[in-house]
Amino acid sequence: MLDWDALNAEIVACRQCPRLVAYRERVACLKRAAFRDWDYWGKPVPNFGSPEARLLLVGLAPAAHGGNRTGRAFTGDASGDFLFEALYRTGFCNQPTSQHRGDGLQLNDAAITAVVHCAPPANRPTREEQAHCFAYLVRTYRLMPNLKGLLALGRLAFEACLRLAQHEALLPEGTCLAFQHGALYDLRDGKFLAVSYHPSARNTYTKLLTMEMMITLLMQIRERLQE
C-alpha cells in the first residue's frame, strides 16, 4: 500500500504537460457558476481504489468540472453518475452516487485509473500527453498483484490498454483486437480485457450506451473474476 500511495502522490505532483497544467489550473481559478463556492482540486487526479483489487477500470481523463473539481475519478459529473450506479448495482461499490471525496464511496474489488490524469481541453489529450501518463498506467498495473481484468472505458482507454498489454507481454505479437462494446478478450497469465463505450453524457443520452448494456458487461466481468 505504501508504494500505491507513493505513486498517487507522484501523480498528483506531476507537471509534465504544460498545456494540461495551464488548463486545469485556469479552470480551477475561473470555475463554473454552479460551483463557484467550491475549492477546485485543480491538480492531476490520482488512482482510486485498492491495489489489492482484481479489476482495474481505465477511463480517459478527469472532467474539467468533475474530477478536476472534486479530486476523485468520475466524481461530480454525469459520467460518474452513470458509472457508479452501474458499479453499485453489480456489487463493485457501496453506493450509487459519487459527489465528493468525503462522501463515503468505496470500491469493492475494483480500482479506477485514467489514460491521462489531468483534465484536457475539449476532453482530447494529445498523443504526447498520453505518452507521458503511460508510465503511470504501467506502474499502476504492476502494483496490483491480484489483478485479473482490465475494463477499458472508451476507445482511447482501449488503445492504452492494448499498449499496456503489449508492453507487459500479455498479447502475442501481431494480435489485433477490435474496439467493440461488450467484448471480452483473453490475455496471457489468465487475465482478460473487457471493452465498453465511455459512459459520457453524449453516449448515455443518445443511448449508444445504456444502463442495461453496462450492467450486462459488468456482470460478465464478475463471472470472469470468480472463475
Among 191-195, 206-210, 223-227, where is mean pLDDT lowest?
Answer: 223-227
Residue 176 predicted with pLDDT over 90: no
> What sections of 90-176 are H helices per DSSP?
127-142, 155-167
- Interval 113-121 mean pLDDT: 98
* pLDDT band, residue 175 (cuts 50/70/90): confident
Residue 6 predicted with pLDDT over 80: yes
How many domains does the chain contain in total? 1
Residue 122: give the domain boundaries. 2-225
pTM of the model: 0.96
Domain with 21 in it: what CATH number? 3.40.470.10
Q: What percent of the chain has pLDDT over 70?
A: 100
Asked if residue 48 lies in contact with residue 35, where contact means CB atoms within 8 angstroms, the answer is no
Q: What residues form DSSP beta bridges with 149?
A: 55, 192
Asked if residue 62 lies in contact with residue 45, where contact means CB atoms within 8 angstroms, the answer is yes
Choice between 172 and 114, residue whose per-residue pLDDT is larger: 114
